[in-house]
């Protein structure tokens, strides 16, 4: 069993406590190691400038960090449960590889600010990536609109036919919605673009000259997050801000999934997908199911409960690191993965929509045009409410007449 970095003596931690507190953190951290390594490089540069590291030690550490990067990319680096997290795993790797220099890497930082900076770098990268993914999706809608847009379709309110509309208007609503989300993300990036590295365990280090601006520049942050307690508070809070700014994208995906599940029923039959996007049943040979939209509907809900997990946990106490913050990491990663996967998949699905013109046209029944009749009377000078009453009476008289 590897020793934890805070274990100076040989008293082990009770295995029930270890299992419970470490949880799956040692697995989650694997997805974030690259950002921990990136921050470790910048941090070692600061330690060099501070003369804590010699030039030689610095270079040695950087070679080891490069080697580690390769191991991580290959998937051959594992974090041991007894190491608790990736931060400890990196320090122990560096100590194994570089000896004394490895024992210096933790100078001026804590696992707290390592987590903070690692998640912050991940968040920045993912915001840019998802912005691009969403713009791709907007394009997929544009292409579909160009191809099918002119086709008329019924507009529904309360699940009932309401007024005439077109494929262009229906798909265009999602195009505009996703477009607005993409436009909002840069302001979220601005919000979180602050370097927490050097805040140590949340109170800075008073008798050590931590050159925080050096790592700020090195890591490409807009500014240093000066107040170390604010750095600490922003754990979870900034993740919440990121997830919230992506929430409208998940809402739109969920709503589109709901639309598709209705419009692909045999009763509506407006739209379909090629068979490689649909699934079958283990006992009903005839089935073509749109499971993919059912899972999308479910995931759009899961996304918001993951967000809630973060909100619930960070509201459980005030300032100062407490261990349940660790649980927010998994919620955050899971939510980001759900979002990214959903957007990319949706682009693929939108690009393969097939419309059934016959069904659409036969669905354009008279009742959709009743409001038009009201406006014919309005355009002839009648007040709207009078025209409405007259048309309504006539409509229901006719129905009763059948």
Separation CA 204–CA 312 (nearest Å):
27
d(CA 242, CA 335): 10
Q: Which three-class secondary structure state does DSSP give residue 282?
A: coil
From 49, 135, 277, 356, residue interacting with its own copies (rule: CB under 8 A): 277
| Exposure letters 6-41 (e unless 16+ CB within 10 A, then b) | eeeeeeeeeeeebeeebbebbebbeebbbbbbbbbb
Find the shortest distance in angstroms from Cβ 35 to its own copies.
18
Q: What is the DSSP letter of 252?
A: H
The label of the residue with tokens 């394009």 reads 139
Bridge-based pairing state of the strands 354-355 and 271-272: antiparallel
Q: Which of 345, 351, 355, 364 binds its own copies (CB under 8 A)?
A: 345
Contact status: 110 vs its own copies (CB under 8 A): yes
Alpha carbon distance, N-terminus to C-terminus of the chain: 83
Cα 140 to Cα 246: distance, rounded to the nearest angstrom: 19
CA distance 194 to 370: 57
Overall residue count recorded for the chain in this entry = 402
Out of 31, 165, 211, 356, the residue judged to bind its own copies by CB under 8 A: 165
Q: Helix, strand or coil for residue 292?
A: helix
Q: Could you tell me which stretch among 38-46, 121-129, 133-141, 340-348 binds its own copies (CB under 8 A)? A: 340-348
Give yes or no for residue 161 binding its own copies (CB under 8 A): yes
Decide: is 362 part of the binding site for its own copies (CB under 8 A): no
Structure tokens given for 278: 């649909």
Contact between 297 and its own copies (CB under 8 A)?
Answer: yes
Name which position in 16, 55, 358, 401 contacts its own copies (CB under 8 A): 16
- Minimum distance of its own copies from residue 337's CB (angstroms): 10
Nearer to its own copies (CB atom), residue 71 or residue 241: 241
Distance CA 368, CA 165 (A): 9
Q: How far is the CB of 11 from its own copies (least distance, A)?
A: 5
Q: Of 31, 136, 169, 211, which one interacts with its own copies (CB under 8 A)?
A: 169
Site for its own copies in 84-103 (CB under 8 A): 87-88, 91, 95, 100, 102-103
Rounded to an integer, what distance in angstroms lies between the CA atom of residue 333 and that of residue 218?
Answer: 25
Beta-strand ranges (E) seen in 246-370 are 271-272, 354-355
In the complex, the smallest distance separating the C-beta of residue 2 from its own copies, rounded to whole angstroms, is: 14
Q: Which is nearer to its own copies, 65 or 257 (CB)?
A: 257
Q: Provide the 8-state DSSP code for 283.
A: S
Restricting to residues 318-337, which ones interact with its own copies according to CB under 8 A?
318-324, 326-327
Q: Which residues 214-273 are close enough to bind its own copies by CB under 8 A? A: 225-230, 232-234, 237, 240-241, 244-245, 247-248, 251-252, 254-262, 264-268
Give the nearer residue to its own copies in terms of CB position, either 70 or 389. Answer: 389
Q: Name the nearest CA neighbour of 111 among 33, 13, 23, 201.
A: 201
Question: Site for its own copies (CB under 8 A): which residue of 288, 351, 355, 364?
Answer: 288
- Residue 135 engages its own copies in binding (rule: CB under 8 A): no
Q: Which of 55, 283, 380, 402 binds its own copies (CB under 8 A)?
A: 283
Of residues 24 through 83, those in contact with its own copies by CB under 8 A are 52
* Stretch binding its own copies (CB under 8 A), from 30-38, 69-77, 117-125, 386-394: 386-394
């Amino acid at each position: 069993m590897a020793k934890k970095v805070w274990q100076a003596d040989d008293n082990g931690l009770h295995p029930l406590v270890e299992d419970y507190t470490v949880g799956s953190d040692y697995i989650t951290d694997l997805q974030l190691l690259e950002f921990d390594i990136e921050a470790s490089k910048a941090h070692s540069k600061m330690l060099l400038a501070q003369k804590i590291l010699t030039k030689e030690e610095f270079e040695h550490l950087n070679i080891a960090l490069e080697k580690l990067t390769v191991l991580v990319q290959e998937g051959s680096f594992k974090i041991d449960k007894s190491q608790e997290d990736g931060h400890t795993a990196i320090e122990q790797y560096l100590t194994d590889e570089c000896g004394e220099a490895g024992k210096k890497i933790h100078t001026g930082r804590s696992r707290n600010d390592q987590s903070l900076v690692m998640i912050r770098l991940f968040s920045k990268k993912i915001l840019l990536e998802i912005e691009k993914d969403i713009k791709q999706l907007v394009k997929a809608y544009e292409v579909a609109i160009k191809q099918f847009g002119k086709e008329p379709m019924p507009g529904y309110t309360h699940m009932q036919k309401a007024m005439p509309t077109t494929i262009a208007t229906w798909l265009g609503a999602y195009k505009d919605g996703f477009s607005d989300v993409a436009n909002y993300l840069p302001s979220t990036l601005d919000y979180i673009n602050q370097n927490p590295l050097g805040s140590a365990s949340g109170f800075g280090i008073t008798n050590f000259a931590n050159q925080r601006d050096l790592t700020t520049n090195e890591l490409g942050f807009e500014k240093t997050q000066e107040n170390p307690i604010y750095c600490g508070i922003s754990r979870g809070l900034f993740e919440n801000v990121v997830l919230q700014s992506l929430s409208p994208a998940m809402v739109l995906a969920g709503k589109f999934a709901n639309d598709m599940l209705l419009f692909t029923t045999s009763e509506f039959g407006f739209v379909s997908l090629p068979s490689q996007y649909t699934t079958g049943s283990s006992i009903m040979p005839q089935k073509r199911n749109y499971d993919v939209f059912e899972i999308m509907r479910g995931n759009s809900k899961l996304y918001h409960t993951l967000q809630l997990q973060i909100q619930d946990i960070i509201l459980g106490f005030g300032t100062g690191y407490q261990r349940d913050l660790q649980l927010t990491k998994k919620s955050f990663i899971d939510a980001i993965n759900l979002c990214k996967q959903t957007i990319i998949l949706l682009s693929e699905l939108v690009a393969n929509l097939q419309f059934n013109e016959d069904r659409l046209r036969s669905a354009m029944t008279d009742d959709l045009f009743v409001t038009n009749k009201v406006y014919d009377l309005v355009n002839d000078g009648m007040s709207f409410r009078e025209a409405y009453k007259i048309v309504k009476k006539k409509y229901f008289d006719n129905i009763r007449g059948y």
